[in-house]
């Protein structure tokens, strides 16, 4: 991850989303690995996860995706600015705003129950603790059941 103090000038997808939500919306999103972020946000109890229809998106919706040509599950996060504009960070370009069709030519949404239970490949601690790249099905349910409701 790029150092947070360099955002938004030098950044990756996760750091840029963290920075935007903190500075523009006053919302503190935990800065964690992108593959673990949907589960982390879901555990906060204020977020819901759906595959988004581009005609139904609202400004500020997050889009967790995988690269079409790579086997990783969740590898990227982007921010909808409007129905056909999405902000994200491209690999050798940096931060960009592009239309959803161009974005979908490289990425696909596939957020499923398996992906919420997925442990980011870079998260060695969780992989060692749970013995693999996925959490057992009951781990998330047990964790969420223990969270206070507001």
**For residue 55, what are the domain limits?**
4-144
pLDDT, tens digit, for every residue of 93-149? Answer: 888 999 988 999 999 887 777 788 888 888 999 999 988 888 887 766 766 666 555
Residue 63 domain-assigned (yes or no): yes
Query: What is the predicted pLDDT for the residue at 98?
Result: 94
Number of domains in the chain: 1
Q: Partners of 92 in the beta sheet?
A: none
pLDDT, tens digit, for every residue of 5-55? Answer: 555 556 788 888 988 889 988 988 888 888 888 888 887 777 877 777 777
Element (H, E) at 100: helix 100-104
CATH of the domain at 120: 3.90.1720
**CA atoms of 149 and 135, how far apart (whole Å):** 23
The answer to whether the CB of 127 falls within 8 A of the CB of 41 is no
The length of the chain, given as a count of residues: 150
pLDDT, tens digit, for every residue of 45-90? Answer: 778 777 777 778 888 889 999 889 987 788 899 999 988 899 999 8
Residue 149 domain-assigned (yes or no): no
In the numeric block, the tokens 């050798």 are attached to 92
The answer to whether the CB of 62 falls within 8 A of the CB of 40 is no
């Amino acid at each position: 991850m790029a150092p947070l103090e360099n955002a938004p000038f030098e950044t990756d997808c996760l750091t840029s989303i963290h920075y935007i939500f903190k500075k523009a919306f006053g919302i503190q999103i935990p800065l964690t690995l992108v593959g673990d972020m949907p589960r982390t946000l879901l555990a906060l109890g204020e977020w819901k996860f759906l595959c988004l229809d581009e005609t139904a998106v609202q400004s500020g919706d997050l889009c967790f995706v995988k690269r079409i040509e790579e086997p990783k599950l969740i590898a990227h996060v982007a921010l909808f600015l409007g129905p056909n504009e999405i902000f994200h960070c491209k690999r050798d370009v940096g931060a960009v705003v592009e239309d959803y069709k161009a974005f979908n030519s490289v990425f696909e949404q596939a957020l499923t129950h398996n992906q919420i239970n997925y442990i980011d490949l870079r998260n060695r601690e969780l992989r060692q603790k749970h013995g693999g790249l996925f959490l057992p099905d009951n781990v998330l349910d047990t964790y969420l059941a223990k969270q206070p409701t507001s």
